[in-house]
Amino acid sequence: MKTDKIKSYILETIICIVLFFALFVPNIFTKIVLAVIITFYMLITRKILQKRNILSMYHKQATLLMALLGAVYLMIFYLMGLYFGYYEATVKFSIWSILNYIIPIATIIIASEVIRSIFLAEKSIISKILTIIAMILIDLIIYANIYQITTFDGFINIISFTLFASIACNLLYNYISIRFGCKPVIVFRLITVLYAYIIPIIPDVYIFFRCFLRILYPYIIYLILEKCYSKDNFVVASKDKKKTIISTVILITIMTLLIMLISCKFKYGILVIGSGSMTGTINKGDAVVFESYDNQIISTGQVIIFEKNNMSIVHRVIDIKQVDGEYRYYTKGDANGQADEGYITNNEILGISKFRIIYIGYPTLWLRDIFTKT
């Protein structure tokens, strides 16, 4: 038993390392190459571990239900496009897209879900955590062609939005895989991923709403499955059910709030400080939580966030003048010897600083340095 666990941990760690590198070097780990690697890895894993899940008697019905729920997901997403509009798919449906995207991605999904079911048969917390990490990395790689991963902003898009949604989805996939096997998850993922390479138009829904839908929908699916199959032998105790529901709601709430902050599209946003111009008040590596500017009254001494030369700057207002009915704000970094050149107008103000969170922005700065050097 211990030998199997050690083998499982080693195999899971290896695939996590490989996938992590694959995320950063997509030119080497193309979709085709990754499909071959994961398929080969799946065959080795099956040979070494030889695990079998005991499936619910409802696994066939669950597969059909997940197919229906996948279709409903697409319907909701495309109905959102009636409000937000549509754009032409980046990858057109053709023989080339079938060979380079559809078949490799379908292979990756199928092989990865078989791997998930094998690892989850171990029934170990460590295995579950490592499995989720590996599956999240696969998710990020699949979506990497949507956001340009070679740029820092593209990387932040993936981390900020796809990552949180992927966590929610993979918690659901783990639950389904343990209870009903890998087929329901495979069917659902094929429907909700491959549409982008088949349907010629894509809803132009802002990334926040896409992410929110991918966070909320898994929880709805979980409730539906619990309602439909609550009499199954796999049903958990009422207390455990309540704990699971409460923890899921809390997780979704936290992830939603984080996404809202990072998106900077709502009342409050968050910005990482990348310079030392405000050292002593706000240090490099800190993150500033700010309230979006909506014609609030700004006073001398307030710290504001404004845009200058396509850069977001956090400096203090040191003087305000009104010229021909236009307010002009003169700013300065607390650690700078001189005031900023020129002045800021209302149109350039993004927000008003509310408080800082120390040190939390350092990982972002380190990642920015990595992308700057490469």
Every domain range in the chain assigned CATH 2.10.109.10: 268-373
Residue 330 · residue 318 · CB < 8 Å: yes
* pLDDT the model gives residue 90: 81
* pLDDT the model gives residue 23: 73
> Cα separation of 348 and 313, whole Å?
10
The reply to whether the predicted model has a pTM over 0.75 is no
* pLDDT the model gives residue 333: 92
CA distances from 97 to 92, 118, 198 (A): 7, 30, 9
Q: Could you tell me which of 139, 111, 109, 106 has the C-alpha nearest to residue 41?
A: 111
Mean pLDDT per 10-residue section of the chain, whose length is 374 residues: 71 83 73 87 82 66 90 90 84 88 92 88 76 85 60 58 80 88 92 90 80 82 80 49 61 62 70 86 88 88 88 91 88 91 89 86 64 52
The class level of CATH for 268-373 reads mainly beta
Q: What DSSP designation does 282 have?
A: S
Strands (E), the chain: 86-88, 201-203, 268-272, 287-292, 303-308, 311-323, 326-332, 349-357
Residue 127 · residue 53 · CB < 8 Å: no
